């Protein structure tokens, strides 16, 4: 189970293209191997069939030549049986000695002439013996005289070989394989014995026997030229002729084959015997008057050269390998074609995952991938629409928050100023009350800015001037404003009511009780390629280090902490961040009894115009 999990984990890391290529390649390779195997089997079956046919043809050819040879032997023995002198002496039941002597020379001459003629035709006899019922006998070699001495001993020999001498008519037949001494070659050799009875032409009474022996080697040379491992076996399983001379006269070791030949083979002219396990194949051809068979053992490739067979196998393996390579190539091409749309969709989803919601997948076709692409595009449309709605809602929320923050500034200023006006009215000082109300009116008129979220820096400075006038008239505070601003920056737009809360913070917390009449505030403006910076620095009491740290930390806290003391600075920082982004805002630097500097950072673009305030 754990091994299967490892295999699944290994393949899970593969791309769809690799998986498709592997699957298609395996299927194609299996198909090629299967087709190759089937083709090989079909070819082998054809080779088997061809091999059997070829072996049967060779066997039949060898058998026919062997039959002609044996027929030549029979013709020679027939020629001997028809010798006039032999017919005369055989027909005399009790010949006189002078008749025997006269016939013997004639018979001997006739036999020698026939044997010499047959030898010149390629038929060589190792022995010829003539044994008549009247006692006459002739032997071409004395080596056989000890075996076959007379007519009766020949009958006994035939009986021992399975031939009944008492049958009315016995055709010329082959009897046995024997070993004898070849006087011509001066060595022991083998031969095949054939028998022909001499009959009275009128009464068909047996008058004698012609017993001849042909050279087994000559017989073997005839068929071994076609099939080197063939042999001749009689119906009892005894080997009569074989290239292996030691096997002659022995029983065939394959009993099943012997039984088959004895029981069935005589019904066929040429036939192939296949063993039950298919390992042994034998082609046989009946010969010697069906008393023996030319047996040719072989395998399916006996008649095919090793070079031809090796070449065929190499060709088959080459075709299978070529088929596998073609199949793998086609599998790669098909997998590439099938996985292209899936890989394109995966790459598209990666780009979308990088928040590229504007792009759409080009849907082609009508398959499952096209359906997924269509639904993905529809989903992106909905996401993009939802994002636009969310962005618009966020902008509206930011504008509402900015307007709320701005609205929190005006009531605070209005409350403090009206308290001062009320005090002067109670004191009966109508002129100062009028001046304060006029300055307050100018302040609010400028702060409205005709519905703009941003106003030029110069207009923001006018707001500060009105605010300083209000502070001077209402609270008798003489505060000096020093501006160090490049002329071209006066027109640069900033969020309205940005500087006034900082000036107010300096007056209320930096100068109150410390420098009510000697305070000064310096306003500097500068820019880099992408940043606009304003520094508002007073010479008030300043802040302790821990107070400064707490103040800067509270500016970036949202929502504002409950114990927030510098709400004006927090308000300004929040509106700048909401308008331009979180990386913009304010930062405070201070030193106790020396100064407090508020640094405002905003984006800079010289071609930027003031933003309009949307009504929500």
Total domain count, the chain? 1
Q: CA distances (Å), 31 to each of 27, 328, 510, in order?
A: 6, 11, 92
Residue pLDDT, tens place only, 91-108: 888 888 888 888 888 888
- List, in order, residues 6 or more apart from 543 with CB less than 8 Å away: 551, 588, 590, 592, 596
Range among 208-212, 427-431, 450-454 rated most confident: 208-212
Let me know if residue 480 belongs to a domain: yes
Helical segments of 428-476, H only: 430-448, 457-475
Indicate which CATH number applies to the domain containing 558.
3.30.565.10
Across 185-194, 228-237, 298-307, 605-614, least confident range: 298-307
Q: What is the predicted pLDDT for the residue at 360?
A: 72
Report the distance separating Cα 173 and Cα 52, nearest Å: 30
- pLDDT-derived band of residue 5, with 50, 70 and 90 as boundaries? low
Report the distance separating Cα 397 and Cα 391, nearest Å: 10
- pLDDT-derived band of residue 400, with 50, 70 and 90 as boundaries? very low
Residue 591, pLDDT > 60, answer: yes
- pLDDT-derived band of residue 501, with 50, 70 and 90 as boundaries? confident
Residue 284, pLDDT > 80, answer: no
Let me know if residue 431 belongs to a domain: yes
Let me know if residue 572 belongs to a domain: yes
- pLDDT-derived band of residue 616, with 50, 70 and 90 as boundaries? very low
Let me know if residue 514 belongs to a domain: yes
Report the distance separating Cα 466 and Cα 500, nearest Å: 10
Residue 399, pLDDT > 70, answer: no
Q: CA distances (Å), 542 to each of 441, 515, 574, in order?
A: 32, 12, 23
Tokens in use for 342?
Answer: 């899936």
Q: What is the predicted pLDDT for the residue at 267?
A: 55
Helical segments of 82-137, H only: 84-91, 97-120
Q: How far, rounded to the nearest angstrom, does the alpha carbon of residue 601 sit from its chain's CA centroid?
A: 62
Tokens in use for 176?
Answer: 């046995």
Q: What is the predicted pLDDT for the residue at 373?
A: 74
Q: Which residue has the higher pLDDT, 258 or 545?
A: 545
Let me know if residue 608 belongs to a domain: no
Q: What is the predicted pLDDT for the residue at 484?
A: 92
- pLDDT-derived band of residue 268, with 50, 70 and 90 as boundaries? low
Residue 427 lies in domain: 389-603
Neighbours of 223 (CB within 10 A): 27
Average pLDDT value for residue range 535-553: 90
Residue pLDDT, tens place only, 166-176: 888 888 888 88
Number of residues that make up the chain: 616
Let me know if residue 542 belongs to a domain: yes
Across 94-103, 263-272, 372-381, 541-550, least confident range: 263-272
Q: What is the predicted pLDDT for the residue at 534?
A: 95
Q: What is the predicted pLDDT for the residue at 401?
A: 53
Q: What is the predicted pLDDT for the residue at 35?
A: 75
Neighbours of 523 (CB within 10 A): 20
Let me know if residue 459 belongs to a domain: yes
Q: What is the predicted pLDDT for the residue at 595?
A: 92
Q: What is the predicted pLDDT for the residue at 13?
A: 60
Predicted TM-score (pTM) of the model is 0.48
Q: CA distances (Å), 209 to each of 133, 160, 558, in order?
A: 8, 16, 139
Let me know if residue 427 belongs to a domain: yes
Sign (positive or negative) of CA dihedral 301, 306, 307, 311: positive
Sign (positive or negative) of CA dihedral 521, 526, 531, 532: positive
Phi/psi for 292 (5° steps) reads -155, 170
Q: Which residue has the higher pLDDT, 458 or 369?
A: 458
- List, in order, residues 6 or more apart from 467 with CB less than 8 Å away: 413, 443, 500, 503, 504
Q: What is the predicted pLDDT for the residue at 531?
A: 93
Say if CB 194 and CB 214 are below 8 A apart. Answer: yes
Give the three-state DSSP class for 546: helix
């Amino acid at each position: 189970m754990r091994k299967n999990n490892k295999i699944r984990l290994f393949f899970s890391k593969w791309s769809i293209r690799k998986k498709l290529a592997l699957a298609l390649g395996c299927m194609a390779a299996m198909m090629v191997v299967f087709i190759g195997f089937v083709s090989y089997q079909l070819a082998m079956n054809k080779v088997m069939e061809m091999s059997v046919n070829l072996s049967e043809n060779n066997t039949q050819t060898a058998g026919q030549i062997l039959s002609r040879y044996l027929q030549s032997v029979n013709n020679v023995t027939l020629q001997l049986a028809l010798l006039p002198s032999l017919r005369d002496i055989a027909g005399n039941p009790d010949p006189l000695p002078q008749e025997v002597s006269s016939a013997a020379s004639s018979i001997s001459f006739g036999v020698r002439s026939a044997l010499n003629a047959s030898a010149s035709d390629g038929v060589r006899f190792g022995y010829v013996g003539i044994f008549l019922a009247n006692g006459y006998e002739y032997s071409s070699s004395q080596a056989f005289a000890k075996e076959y001495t007379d007519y009766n001993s020949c009958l006994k020999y035939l009986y021992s070989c399975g031939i009944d001498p008492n049958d009315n008519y016995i055709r010329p037949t082959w009897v046995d394989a024997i070993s004898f001494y070849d006087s011509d070659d001066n060595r022991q050799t083998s031969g095949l014995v054939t028998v022909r009875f001499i009959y009275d032409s009128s009464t068909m009474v047996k008058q004698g026997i012609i017993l001849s022996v042909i050279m087994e080697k000559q017989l073997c040379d005839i068929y071994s030229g076609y099939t080197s491992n063939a042999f001749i076996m009689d119906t009892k399983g005894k080997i009569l002729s074989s290239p292996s001379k030691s096997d002659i006269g022995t029983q065939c070791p394959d009993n099943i084959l012997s039984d088959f030949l004895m029981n069935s083979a005589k019904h066929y002219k040429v036939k192939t015997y296949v063993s039950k396990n298919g390992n042994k194949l034998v082609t046989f051809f009946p010969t010697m008057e069906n008393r023996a068979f030319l047996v040719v053992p072989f395998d399916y490739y006996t008649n095919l050269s090793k070079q031809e067979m090796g070449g065929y196998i190499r060709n088959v393996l080459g075709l299978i390998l070529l088929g596998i390579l073609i199949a793998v190539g086609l599998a790669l091409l098909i997998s590439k074609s099938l996985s292209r749309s899936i890989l394109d969709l995966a790459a598209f989803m990666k780009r979308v995952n990088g928040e590229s919601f504007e792009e759409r997948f080009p849907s082609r076709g009508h398959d499952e991938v096209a359906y997924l692409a269509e639904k993905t595009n529809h989903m992106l449309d909905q996401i993009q629409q939802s994002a636009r709605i969310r962005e618009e809602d966020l902008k509206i929320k930011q504008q509402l928050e900015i307007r709320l923050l701005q609205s929190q500034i005006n009531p605070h200023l209005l409350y403090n100023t009206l308290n001062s006006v009320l005090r002067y009215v109670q004191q009966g000082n109508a002129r100062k009350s009028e001046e304060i109300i006029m300055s307050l009116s100018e302040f609010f008129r400028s702060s409205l800015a005709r519905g703009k979220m941003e106003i030029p820096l110069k207009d923001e400075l006018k707001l500060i001037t009105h605010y300083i006038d209000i502070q001077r008239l209402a609270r008798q505070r003489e505060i000096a404003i020093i501006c160090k601003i490049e002329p071209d920056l006066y027109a640069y737009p900033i969020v309205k009511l940005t500087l006034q809360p900082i000036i107010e913070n300096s007056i209320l917390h930096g100068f109150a009780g410390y420098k009510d009449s000697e305070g000064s505030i310096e306003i500097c403006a500068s820019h880099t390629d992408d940043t606009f910076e304003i520094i508002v620095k007073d010479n008030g009491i300043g802040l302790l280090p821990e107070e400064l740290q707490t103040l800067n930390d509270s500016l970036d806290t949202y929502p504002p902490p409950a114990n927030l003391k510098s709400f004006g600075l927090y308000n300004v920082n929040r509106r700048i961040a909401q308008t331009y982004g979180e990386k913009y805002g304010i930062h405070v630097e201070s030193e106790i009894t020396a100064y407090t500097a508020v640094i405002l950072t905003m984006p800079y673009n010289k071609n930027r115009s003031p933003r309009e305030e949307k009504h929500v």
